[in-house]
Amino acid sequence: MDLSPLSRRAFLAALGASAAALPAGTRAFGGSGPPPALLLHGGPIHLGAGGRVVEALLVRDGRVAFAGRLAEAPARGVRRIDLAGAAAFPGLVDAHAHLLGIGLREIRLNLAGTRSIAALQAALGAHAAAHPAGPIVGRGWIETHWPEARMPTRADLDAVVADRPVWLDRADGHAGVANSAALALAGIDAATRDPAGGRIERDAAGAATGVLIDNAAALVEARLPAPGPETVRLALARAVALYAARGWTGVADMGMRADVRAILHEMAAAGSLPIRVDCYMADGEAAAVLADGPSADPTGLVRTLGVKLYVDGALGSRGALLLAPYGDRPETSGLAVTPVEHIRARLAQARRSGAQVATHAIGDRANRMVLDLYAEAWADDPAGLRRARWRVEHAQVIDAADIPRFGKLGVIASMQPSHAIGDLWFAPARLGAARLGGAYAWRSLVESGAMLCAGSDAPVEKGDPRIEYYAATHRRDLDGRAGPDWHPEQALDRQAALALFTRNAAYAARHEDALGTLEVGMRADVSVFDADLTRIEPAAILQAKRVLTIVDGVASR
């Protein structure tokens, strides 16, 4: 239930008077000593271990000091927080997201939710009027539900803005559309050849339509001005505040840049980073972690764990690499975006240094390639692969023969539940019914012995833990609808889904000794919502309100 205004005021008072003056998503304790001891009670407190629920949780010096009956809880020298019926969970972690992209989405042209090409044009026109100079960059469109039943083209953009470059990323980040000015800036014309791992979409006459897939997008993006340091700082501040305000206590950032990580280090040192960030460096910026292995900043809030690699593109833009051609475009089977020999070299470096590897693979051929390459890299020590905790990011479409290999090899499947409830409206056309049995196959993977963790892939998706939990447990879209080929048997029960964002996310980031549960001795990362997500009706999950986020015993409003 919703907390009353009185309960909310009491909540903030228990966190200290300074909390009331802080913006949402900022940390409510900024002192130089340890944070105050907190006693949470008055609502179900899920420990995340064996389904255990307790009445009271004592947090002291950043760790759980007691979990049990309220009558037995130490009460002296603590600030009591009456949850007033709200439910507390181990801190929820987004196991795959992109903080810079999340922040830039908030300050650039945001096309998420546009329902047609006409709506995209209207949004572009309004943005152009408000920003009359310079190139326009935006993100978030997805055409699969549009009445026009096609991607936008340069002609659609030219009709609104023709005098300066426009580049609009598709929601998945693996395709985009450029207007004619942007194509000219990049030197793309009918004679331009497709780059390796990319595709320039063309019309019947061979002219570029403006749509660029995977590595072809770099032809335009490389010519556009990169966001400056102050823009990056603003974007990161927006992103981490937003994530804390949604109830996330941590994120695994995939494809991290060194300059972005440096700013996160500064924020952590200044006490202005309200969540944990685990960094998987972009391929081109991973030299240090590949040479020296994982590291952490002095606060422990920012850790550098490994490298993010790519094998293929995305299903929506038909860049996912498939074993057989696309059902709706039989002339293509997708794109291999990175040479295999380059991946082999990176895996060898990671094995020597102890860096984790997280490899993007969406199509069934891509997933098989990654499993094969991982097994090859550890052929002389198969058990070492399990210890290394190498990951497959997305693991979206898997051939039935490869599903058991995740558990057998010890490879972690890092998946995004919201992809299923969006993609399954168009995946049947892309894949055909026969391949859907291995698509977004959460339960099949779990039952075969695989370790799964889950995230959102924001800004591809919204980045809302409620949506991800709802999708994992209900496997229906946000309106409660499901198509005939959505395989509802792949949904997970409430406790198994909770583990994806808590225990399993901690394991995937080599942090299960300190995070993932609220057992005594663990770090005090807590996510509090005004309803018990494990018990309410599925639709009510989407309406639950985040009440409090605690990281290392420090609370964010």
Least confident stretch, 75-84, 258-267, 492-501: 75-84
Least confident stretch, 144-148, 358-362, 378-382, 409-413: 144-148
In the chain, where are the structural domains located?
A: 1-85+517-557, 100-221
As a three-state string, the secondary structure of 450-486 is CCEEECCCCCCCCCCHHHHHHHHHHCCCCCCCCCCCC
pLDDT digits (tens, 9 = 90+) for 300-330: 999 999 999 999 999 999 999 999 999 999 9
DSSP label of 397: B
Mean pLDDT, to the nearest integer, of 389-396?
A: 98
Give the strands of the sheet with 136-141, arranged side by side. 109-110, 136-141, 166-170, 175-178, 208-214, 198-202
Give the CATH fold of the 1-85+517-557 domain.
Urease, subunit C; domain 1 (2.30.40)
Is-contact 240 216, C-beta < 8 A?
A: no
On the 0-12 / 13-18 / 19+ scale of CB atoms within 10 A, 190 is exposed
d(CA 177, CA 186): 13
H or E element at residue 388: helix 382-388
Measured at the CA of 325, the angle between CA 324 and CA 329, to 5 degrees, comes to 165
Measured at the CA of 435, the angle between CA 483 and CA 468, to 5 degrees, comes to 55
Q: How far is CA 275 from CA 48, 249, 260, in A?
A: 19, 5, 15
d(CA 70, CA 81): 12
DSSP label of 113: T
- pLDDT category of residue 75 using cuts at 50, 70 and 90: confident
d(CA 8, CA 13): 9
At residue 551, φ and ψ (nearest 5 deg) are -130, 125
Mean pLDDT, to the nearest integer, of 148-161?
A: 97
Residue 338: pLDDT above 90?
yes
CATH code 1.20.1290.10 for 100-221 = no
Q: What's residue 16's pLDDT?
A: 40
* Three-class SS state of 497: helix
Q: What's residue 557's pLDDT?
A: 64
Residue 438: pLDDT above 60?
yes
* Three-class SS state of 393: strand
Q: In 148-246, which residue ranges form alpha helices assigned H by DSSP?
A: 154-158, 180-186, 218-221, 229-246
pLDDT digits (tens, 9 = 90+) for 469-519: 999 999 999 999 999 999 999 999 999 999 999 999 999 999 999 999 999
d(CA 136, CA 169): 11
Peptide bond into 23 cis (omega under 30): no
| CA-based nearest residue to 442, from 401, 375, 487, 507 | 487
Structure tokens at 8: 């909310």
- Mean pLDDT rounded to a whole number for the chain: 94
Q: What's residue 20's pLDDT?
A: 35
Residue 177: pLDDT above 50?
yes
- pLDDT category of residue 556 using cuts at 50, 70 and 90: confident
Q: How far is CA 487 from CA 397, 437, 439, 442, 450, in A?
A: 13, 7, 9, 11, 19
Sign of CA dihedral 206, 211, 216, 219: positive
pLDDT digits (tens, 9 = 90+) for 3-60: 343 344 444 444 443 333 333 444 544 445 677 899 999 999 999 988 999 999 999 9
Burial of 131-148, coded b for 16+ CB within 10 Å and e otherwise, reads: eeeebbbbbbbbbeebee
Q: What's residue 32's pLDDT?
A: 55
* Three-class SS state of 142: coil
Is-contact 167 176, C-beta < 8 A?
A: yes
d(CA 246, CA 441): 27
Helices (H) and strands (E) in the chain, counts: 21, 23
Would you tell me how many other CB atoms lie within 10 Å of the CB of residue 106?
Answer: 15
* Three-class SS state of 212: strand
Is-contact 550 556, C-beta < 8 A?
A: yes
Is-contact 526 89, C-beta < 8 A?
A: yes
